[in-house]
Chain A
Amino acid sequence: MSMRESVVTPESWGTLRKYTSARIALGRAGHSLPTAAHLEFQLAHAQAKDAVHLPLDTSGVARSIEALGVPTLLLQSGASDRLVYLQRPDLGRQLDFQSRRTLESWTLCHPREESFDVAFVVVDGLSALAIHQNSAALIAAMTSRLRSDRYASWSIAPIAVVQQGRVAIGDEVGQTLKANAVVVLIGERPGLSSPDSLGIYMTWDPRVGRNDSQRNCISNVRSAGLSVESAAAKLHYLLQRSRFLQISGVALKDETTAAQAVTEEPLDDAIAGPLSKFNDVLP
């Protein structure tokens, strides 16, 4: 057999691939993608589609959250199944009738003088996989941080686990449970290299009709992205600032540094620093 020249021209700067999981330096066959790169793309696309259609294991998620000593409430959006969910974003932002009754009867059975400081809402969004892999660890990190917060005590509402939900559904849950702030943990739209990415949306004074400029977002929480520990540190900081200033969204800036964001300890300096700066400019 004679040696045949490969039809694939490798990229001469392929060494840069080790710095990113982006699809760079793939080489070429003629002007097109080599077959191997094309097949990898198709596999990643199929995995992303599977992630969108994977049903949320609500009882499994609820069990792992309750193991942390926090009660849960199982809820459902107005979208009855995945097909309706994908076609009707509006229904994903509101609770169905039964879930409203569940929430209302819970508040009737548990009357409180004061609002909760924070409510967590775990939502499948576009990737149940992200919730299966990251939500319980994040709730664990947050409850531990909030319980040991030296600056303030935090009352935490029962944790809502919502099927077929979108970000804004947290407004109705937070409002009904009477929480001062709501934190939505939601599966993000799966990318071709990140089917398991969780997003966090924090909103001060949740009310139905809040818009996205009134929320703070922490994105890309997953094993190959932002770690649960770093995300919890950022969220803890944002919650403290939000509670102190009674705002969220574009008016509330993340002033933590990368070094502060990876510490396990509460962000004493991060809180004291920006707060004293803020106080200086207040009238």
Chain B
Amino acid sequence: MGVPGADDIMLNYQSTSFHDALAMRHIMGLRTSPEFESWLQAMEIFETGSQSRLVNKIPAALVGRLRQLEGQ
């Protein structure tokens, strides 16, 4: 399960985080399901062709929305 920072702020639960999932996959040498991996690459979260390397810049899909939110 993925909860940001392992802190379910609405239900006051602690759970596994996105960091945990990535780190555990990395340590165990596991990959996500192929369709999820393609989605992560298409959304520019994983680098193209990579099984686990994260993109360091803001994904294109998010840039426009962030600008809109910040009133730019």
Contact of B12 among A31, A32, A194 (CB under 8 A): A194
Q: Which residues of B contact A189 (CB under 8 A)?
A: 12
CB closest chain-B residue, reference A21: B9
How far apart are A25's CB and chain B's nearest CB, in angstroms?
8
Q: Which residues of B contact A37 (CB under 8 A)?
A: 5
Given the known A-B contacts A13-B58, A31-B52, A190-B12, are A44 and B7 also in contact in the complex, defined by CB atoms under 8 Å? yes
Given the known A-B contacts A9-B56, A192-B14, are A30 and B4 also in contact in the complex, defined by CB atoms under 8 Å? no
| Complex contact B58–A31 (CB within 8 A) | no
Interface of B is mostly: mixed
A11-68 at interface with B (beta carbon < 8 Å): 12-13, 15-16, 20-24, 26, 28, 30-33, 37, 41, 44-45
| Complex contact B66–A15 (CB within 8 A) | yes
Q: Within the assembled complex, what's the spacing in Å between the Cα atoms of A192 and B12?
A: 7
Asked if A124 is at the interface (CB within 8 A of a chain B CB), the reply is no
Q: Which residues of B contact A23 (CB under 8 A)?
A: 4-7, 9
Q: Within the assembled complex, what's the spacing in Å between the Cα atoms of A195 and B58?
A: 34
- Residue tally, chain A, CB below 8 Å to B: 28
Q: Which residues of B contact A188 (CB under 8 A)?
A: 12
Contact of B9 among A16, A30, A33, A193 (CB under 8 A): A193
| Complex contact A191–B19 (CB within 8 A) | no
- Residue tally, chain B, CB below 8 Å to A: 24
Asked if B62 is at the interface (CB within 8 A of a chain A CB), the reply is yes
Given the known A-B contacts A13-B62, A31-B26, A32-B19, are A193 and B7 also in contact in the complex, defined by CB atoms under 8 Å? yes
Contact of B7 among A12, A22, A28 (CB under 8 A): A22
Q: Within the assembled complex, what's the spacing in Å between the Cα atoms of A44 and B14?
A: 11
Contact of B17 among A9, A33, A44, A191 (CB under 8 A): A33
Contact of A22 among B5, B26, B56, B66 (CB under 8 A): B5
| Complex contact A12–B4 (CB within 8 A) | no
CB closest chain-A residue, reference B27: A31
| Complex contact A41–B58 (CB within 8 A) | no
A206-246 at interface with B (beta carbon < 8 Å): none
Q: Within the assembled complex, what's the spacing in Å between the Cα atoms of A28 and B56?
A: 11
Q: Which residues of A contact B23 (CB under 8 A)?
A: 30-32
Q: Within the assembled complex, what's the spacing in Å between the Cα atoms of A23 and B8?
A: 9
Residues of B within 8 A of A (CB): 4-9, 11-14, 17, 19, 22-23, 26, 52, 54, 56-58, 62, 66, 69-70
Pairs A-B, 10 closest by C-beta atoms: A23-B5, A191-B12, A31-B22, A31-B23, A192-B7, A22-B9, A12-B58, A24-B4, A32-B23, A23-B7
Residues of A within 8 A of B (CB): 9, 12-13, 15-16, 20-24, 26, 28, 30-33, 37, 41, 44-45, 188-194, 197
Task: Pick 30 A–B contacts, CB within 8 A, sort by A.
Answer: A12-B57, A16-B69, A20-B9, A22-B7, A22-B9, A23-B4, A23-B6, A23-B7, A26-B5, A28-B54, A30-B26, A31-B23, A31-B52, A31-B54, A32-B19, A32-B23, A33-B5, A33-B19, A37-B5, A41-B5, A44-B7, A45-B14, A190-B12, A191-B7, A191-B9, A191-B11, A192-B7, A192-B9, A192-B12, A193-B7
Q: A15-B70, A22-B9, A31-B19 are in contact. List 7 more A-B contacts (CB 8 A).
A: A9-B54, A15-B66, A28-B19, A32-B23, A41-B6, A41-B7, A191-B9
